[in-house]
Amino acid sequence: MTEENKQFRTLVDQVTVVSPADVAQTKTTIQRTLASLPARPVQRHLRPWHIGVASALIALVLLTIGGIVNPTMNRALAQAPIVGQFFARFSDGDALSVVVQNNGRSERVHGQATVNGLTLTLESAYVEGQTVGIEGVATGVPAKKDDWFDVKLGTQAPASFETKSTEVRKLGKNRYYFALFGTLSVVDSRRIVYLPLTIDRFAGYRGPWQFSFKLTPSRSTTIALSGQAQLPNQTQLTLTQYTRYSGGTGLLTLQQSTPDGQSEISIRSIKPVPTGAELLLNANPLYLEGTKYGEQKTVVGYRIKQYPAGIKNLYITGDVDGRAYAVTIPVK
């Protein structure tokens, strides 16, 4: 914990005292809330390491057999760029990037800049729908002073590009992984994207490191949907369309209606069958068609994994102003 954290915690701890009555009320609230739940079936989950071990074994068998019977395949594998090494660097929170990279849809980006011995190398990037992801590796970083970097975009960059998050993670001695995620407007997301960018400050060190590259958006197909569900507090969800991107993800577009624009509808889970795999990749919706948070009717897009063809329903759970809901919406 830094000195700043300690100082601030001390200040806050000194001034926040809750009464025993409040704590007793909290205990009652928790017990009542959980008592109102229906019994939940026991679930068994496939852990990531199960998948990892199984994939590694299958790959080992295939490579061994392939190598024995097919020397050409061995040569091709030896020459292929090791893009796989980047897959694991994206964190769980950026599941969309993992899907896109696992589908081989991220592009290799070449760019390197060194300032005061600190080298930033861009490695891969993608445009999948309205989401943009860029990643690279920093070397020669003496010690991380903070965990972010500041980015400025050049004038050729799409005006709608909005930085959503950055990530800096240690890979080894003086080496850091970094990633930048942003969004584009629907119109800009359909064109080739030029991204001249300048990193002014990286992990507490001054730059600038300058890069310029272009990205080709994933191809997409869109189908219209209908189907709706009533939610708590007189709110409503209506499916409007589904767009599939070639990187393996999709955008599920819904219209949200609230009586006065005050209710907040959130979605925590989207599944093709109640006990099936989670499709939702990012619980933060994109606001579409010029609508904004707080309006009575909004059109929002949720980034999901592509759903299987021929599904009849989507099982959606979430909450409206803290009231949980679970609905089944027919996909027509």
Partner 1 sequence: MDIVTQHRLIRQAQKGNAAAFATLMVDAADYLTRTAYLYLADSHDVQDAISAATLAAFEALPQLKQPRYFRTWVTRILIRQCYRRYRIKAHEVFAQEAMPEPPADPNRLTSDEKIDLLAGLRGINQAHALTLMMHYYHGLSVKEISTLQEIPENTVKSNLRRGRQALRDWLGEDYLD
Nearer to partner 1, 216 or 234 (CB): 234
Q: Least distance (Å) from partner 1 to the CB of residue 177? A: 14
**Which residues are at the interface with partner 1 (CB under 8 A)?**
4-5, 7-12, 14-18, 22-23, 25-27, 29-35, 37, 39-43, 45, 147-148, 150, 162-167, 262, 264, 268, 284, 293, 317, 319, 321-324
Q: Least distance (Å) from partner 1 to the CB of residue 236? A: 19
CA–CA dist 186, 214 (Å, integer): 17
Q: Least distance (Å) from partner 1 to the CB of residue 143? A: 18
In this structure, what DSSP letter does residue 37 have? Answer: S
Question: Using an 8 Å Cβ cutoff, are 208 and 198 in contact?
Answer: yes
Question: Using an 8 Å Cβ cutoff, are 163 and 197 in contact?
Answer: no
Q: Which residue has the tokens 């081989």?
A: 104
CA–CA dist 142, 203 (Å, integer): 10
CA–CA dist 141, 22 (Å, integer): 48
Could you list the beta-strand ranges (E) of 63-155.
Answer: 107-115, 118-128, 131-139, 149-153
Nearer to partner 1, 31 or 216 (CB): 31
Q: Least distance (Å) from partner 1 to the CB of residue 63? A: 29
Nearer to partner 1, 32 or 173 (CB): 32
Q: Least distance (Å) from partner 1 to the CB of residue 183? A: 10
CA–CA dist 161, 163 (Å, integer): 7
